[in-house]
Amino acid sequence: MLENIIRLNLQKAIEKFSSANVLVIGDIIVDHFIWGTVSRISPEAPVPVVNVTDESLLLGGSANVLHNLYDLGARATLCGVIGDDLMGQHLLQLLREMDSPTAGVIKTHDRPTTKKTRIVAQSQQVVRFDREKTGPLSAETLDALCSFIEANIASFDAVIISDYCKGVVCARLMDHLRQLVSRHHVPMIVDPKPIHADLFKGATIITPNHQEAEKMSGVTICDDESLAQAAAALLQRLDSTAVLITRGEAGMTLLEKEKPIFTIPTVAKEIYDVTGAGDTVIASLALGLASGLSFAEAATLANFAAGIVVAKIGTATASAKELMELIS
Whether 40 maps to a domain, the answer reads no
Where residue 69 falls among pLDDT bands split at 50, 70, 90? very high
pLDDT value at 283 more than 60: yes
The pTM of the full predicted model, rounded to 2 decimals, is 0.91
| pLDDT, position 270 | 58
Whether 217 maps to a domain, the answer reads yes
Mean per-residue pLDDT for 96-117? Answer: 96
DSSP 205-260: EE--BHHHHHHHHT----SHHHHHHHHHHHHHHHT-SEEEEE-GGG-EEEEETTS-
In CATH, what number is assigned to the domain containing residue 14? 3.40.1190.20
Give the tens place of pLDDT for each residue, 115-159: 999 999 988 889 999 999 999 999 999 999 999 999 999 999 999
Whether 73 maps to a domain, the answer reads yes
Please check whether residue 180 is in contact with residue 149, taking contact to mean a CB–CB distance below 8 angstroms.
Answer: yes
**Is 71 a residue of the active site?**
no
Mean per-residue pLDDT for 29-49? Answer: 93
Integer Cα distance of 220 and 210 in angstroms = 10
What is the 8-class DSSP label of residue 195? G
Whether 46 maps to a domain, the answer reads no
Whether 254 maps to a domain, the answer reads yes
Integer Cα distance of 293 and 191 in angstroms = 19
| pLDDT, position 265 | 87
Q: What percent of the chain has pLDDT over 90?
A: 82
Integer Cα distance of 28 and 32 in angstroms = 13
Give the tens place of pLDDT for each residue, 159-170: 999 999 999 999
| pLDDT, position 164 | 93
| pLDDT, position 275 | 56
Question: Does the CA dihedral 280-286-288-293 come out positive or negative?
Answer: positive
Where residue 327 falls among pLDDT bands split at 50, 70, 90? confident
- Of 294, 241, 281, 233, the closest CA to residue 64 belongs to 281
DSSP 65-117: HHHHHHHTT-EEEEEEEEESSHHHHHHHHHHHHTT---TTEEEESSSPPEEEE
Integer Cα distance of 116 and 324 in angstroms = 32
| pLDDT, position 315 | 59
Number of domains in the chain: 1
Residue-range definition of the domain harbouring residue 250: 4-30+60-114+132-327
Mean per-residue pLDDT for 178-202? Answer: 95
Whether 43 maps to a domain, the answer reads no
pLDDT value at 1 more than 60: no
Give the HSE-up count for residue 301: Cα atoms under 13 Å, Cβ half-sphere.
32
Integer Cα distance of 120 and 99 in angstroms = 30
Give the tens place of pLDDT for each residue, 196-253: 999 999 999 999 999 999 999 999 999 999 999 999 999 999 999 999 999 888 889 9
